């Protein structure tokens, strides 16, 4: 399936609705990493291989994911996978590892100085 403008818009809408739901409903921040739901329309569900959901139309809505579904959480969303993928080879594990290592190391490099300014840091940092 081609990554059409309509599919890209659905992926973006999924992410926006997901974050909005977590914030407005005061959900656990852990749901950003793992959940049993997402926000889909018919095309996005088909793109994700979720053909057993009863969806129709172009409007995204809340959908409970099947129990054995590997989706759920931001690391499996199309927007995150597209941004973190290697343009010549899209491997989900590498995308998640890249996202995790890039985010973690950037945050960890700044934490000791910003949050714990009087703590000991290894020489050379």
Q: Whole-model pTM?
A: 0.65
Q: Tens digits of per-residue pLDDT, 20-69?
A: 999 999 999 999 999 999 999 899 988 988 888 888 888 888 999 988 88
| CA atoms 65, 74, 100, 4: torsion sign | positive
For the chain, the domain total comes to 2
Residue 97: domain span:
85-118
pLDDT > 90: what percent of the chain?
30
114 and 63 share one domain = no
- Is residue 124 in a domain? no
17 and 34 share one domain = yes
37 and 94 share one domain = no
Tokens matching residue 75:
């690391």
60 and 19 share one domain = yes
If phi over 0 gives left and psi between -120 and 50 gives alpha, with beta otherwise, what is residue 57? left
Q: How far is CA 83 from CA 1, 34, 63, 92, 100, in A?
A: 18, 19, 23, 11, 13
């Amino acid at each position: 399936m081609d990554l059409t403008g309509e599919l890209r818009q659905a992926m973006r809408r999924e992410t926006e609705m997901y974050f909005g739901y977590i914030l407005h409903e005061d959900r656990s921040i852990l749901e950003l990493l793992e959940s049993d739901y997402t926000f889909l329309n018919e095309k996005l569900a088909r793109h994700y291989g979720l053909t057993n959901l009863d969806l129709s139309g172009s409007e995204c809505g809340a959908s409970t994911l099947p129990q054995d579904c590997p989706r759920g959480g931001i690391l499996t969303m199309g927007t995150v996978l597209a941004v973190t993928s290697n343009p010549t080879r899209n491997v989900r594990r590498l995308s998640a590892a890249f996202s995790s290592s890039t985010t973690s190391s950037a945050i960890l490099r700044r934490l000791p100085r910003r949050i714990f300014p009087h703590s000991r840091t290894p020489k050379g940092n």
